[in-house]
Amino acid sequence: MPNDILPEIGSTITIQKPAFNSILAHLKEDGYLPIGPRVKNESLVYETIDNLEDLPQGYSTVQKPGYFRLIHTGHTRYFDITHGAHSWKQFLFPSRLELFTLHKNHAGWYDTTQQAETPRYAFIGVRACELAAIHIQDNIFMRADFTDPVYRARRDRAVIISVNCTHPAETCFCTSMGTGPRVKNGFDLNLTELDDVFVLTIGSDLARKLLTSVPFEDARGYALNNVEHKIEHAEQQIRRTLDTKDLPELILDNLDNPYWNEIGKRCLSCANCTQVCPTCFCWDAVDTMSLDGQETKRERVWDSCFNPGYSYQAGGNTRPTIYSRYRQWLSHKLGTWKQQYGTLGCVGCGRCITWCPAEIDLTEEIVNLRNEVRR
């Protein structure tokens, strides 16, 4: 009912789908840039959206190791599609960022950095696995001993409208990692799409205000049951598993196992997996100088442990062969990450499987390693 009353934090409501556009309008009025999934160039990207119609209604994906296809099935749902190569990482932790610019005069170097306005993003359609990945990156970039000021500024301003997954892809294994398909917390607004309505759970005061003048109803029994039913259905659809009971020991106790060489033979060290992974956080500082030597810029760019230069020091490279770089990535993601940050680094989104041109599937490799170790 349209009225002046706003829903309480923690409450669950339903809205008619077109009403979502009012929420988007509120966000834009408040200075937010809504980002959501869009179809572009036969792929699925996260870009600015203006209204509901920009979402990939009718689209679905087929994903397998090394395989991604967008298919148009003609269904009517907006948030049915699962993710493509993009993740929300690129907005909170941009792939290229100017840190500062210095100019030289007779007295030395002085700072001429243009202070850029921190963008205020509204992430529309964040999956449970993606939200878990954001929380993992929060632990990395905002710690007691060190906080990345750029990440913090963007994260503090970001609005999160999450989505309960109802149609996972074949490469998904969030259930094994305990990260989905159900969104538990950490959102402003959590959305589940039913055929006729959106079911929304209010997570914050900001979310309440987004419902200003938006017609809504308290979610009734049938809607809540329907949501539960859809989540259970999604859970059952996930066939891919990763047994984490013996991680990280399985990897860390078997770093010398010759099986790593086997994977190394297939891996191309192309760094796709680290780019699409929503938790990978390695970066490099790049210094450039103008030709006249009067201006220099320091930038932060994404880096990858697969890059040959990553472990290069004057005196040599500590990981010159591909197998040791693959081992570094996996033994970090499913191994040492736990000691560093308290959880494993993988959220089970399956991107690294879909986007690996060599079709390397880490869930399969862990099983193979386990078998090799037992032999």
Distances in Å between the alpha carbon of 195 and those of 37, 168, 227?
Answer: 19, 17, 11
Nearer to other proteins, 42 or 145 (CB): 145
Q: Which residues bind to other proteins, rule: CB under 8 A?
A: 99-100, 102, 104-105, 107-111, 113, 115, 140-141, 145-146, 148-150, 252, 255-256, 281-285, 287-289, 293, 296, 298, 300, 303, 305, 310-316, 318-321, 324, 327-328, 331-332, 335-336, 339-340
Name the residue among 30, 32, 76 with its Cα closest to residue 53.
76
Nearer to other proteins, 8 or 111 (CB): 111
Alpha carbons 217 and 24: distance in angstroms, whole number: 19
Q: Reduced to 3 DSSP states, what percent helix, strand and coil does the chain have, rounded to the nearest 5?
A: 35, 25, 40
Q: How far is the CB of 351 from other proteins (least distance, A)?
A: 19
Q: How far is the CB of 136 from other proteins (least distance, A)?
A: 14
Please give the single-letter amino acid code of residue 242: L
Q: How far is the CB of 209 from other proteins (least distance, A)?
A: 29
Q: How far is the CB of 271 from other proteins (least distance, A)?
A: 13
Find the radius of gyration of the CA atoms of the chain.
Answer: 22
Nearer to other proteins, 142 or 224 (CB): 142
3-state class of 44 per DSSP? strand
Alpha carbons 315 and 21: distance in angstroms, whole number: 58
Beta strands of the chain (E only): which ranges? Answer: 12-16, 33-40, 43-48, 59-64, 67-72, 96-105, 108-111, 121-127, 159-163, 189-193, 197-202, 217-218, 283-289, 295-302, 312-313, 316-317
Nearer to other proteins, 73 or 147 (CB): 147
Nearer to other proteins, 147 or 225 (CB): 147
Nearer to other proteins, 3 or 339 (CB): 339
Q: Which two tokens stand for residue 233?
A: 């259905």
Which DSSP state fits 214?
A: -
Q: How far is the CB of 259 from other proteins (least distance, A)?
A: 14
Q: How far is the CB of 278 from other proteins (least distance, A)?
A: 15
- Widest pairwise Cα distance in the chain: 74
Alpha carbons 336 and 255: distance in angstroms, whole number: 12
Q: How far is the CB of 84 from other proteins (least distance, A)?
A: 25
Please give the single-letter amino acid code of residue 289: M
Nearer to other proteins, 82 or 274 (CB): 274
